Amino acid sequence: MVPAVYSFCMRAILLVDHGSVRSEANHMLDCVANLLQEMVGPDVLVRAAHMELAEPLIPQGVETCVEAGATELVVFPYMLSPGKHSTRDIPRIVAEATRRHPELRVRVTPAFGVHAKLAEVIAERAGVEVRTAVGECNRCWHPNDAVGACGDACCAPSREPAAASAVKAAARA
């Protein structure tokens, strides 16, 4: 009889922002991480790190997740747009930081981008009632229907996100 082999999988989410010289900005990311941890429960590890200017930096955040037992790491660039930091810098730093952990499954998500829930937050903060609920963001909202014009931020169903491709490319380098 062959003994059963169990594969333990622990997912970790590492929220990454730019980092700031203002401590309040850096502490805010910790608050978001704590909120998300409460929402996803104890089976998922949630941590925060900064790209630069404040600690913990991305490599420290990766190590914290690995030391806690993470076998899968999802890095979320806590940024609005698919700019240079979320599509190139963060994936590159993550690839460098995870090179010592070949057993770790890693992916970097797109930045927030275009999403109906973000639009709801804007309307709420502006004191404006949402008159038409959009639900799932599954079409291009560009004025000329230029699907993909906003990169990873486009919510139209499309190809593999550029950030994921960047991590793969950086890992091969």
Report whether 77 contacts 108 (CB < 8 A).
yes
In tens digits, the chain (173 residues) has pLDDT values of 666 555 679 999 999 999 999 999 999 999 999 999 999 999 999 999 999 999 999 999 999 999 999 999 999 999 999 999 999 999 999 999 999 999 999 999 999 988 888 989 999 999 999 998 887 777 777 788 788 787 777 777 764 444 444 554 455 45
Cα–Cα distances (Å) from 122 to 66, 114, 129, 139, in that order, read 36, 12, 10, 19
d(CA 102, CA 128): 48
What pTM, to 2 d.p., does this model score? 0.83
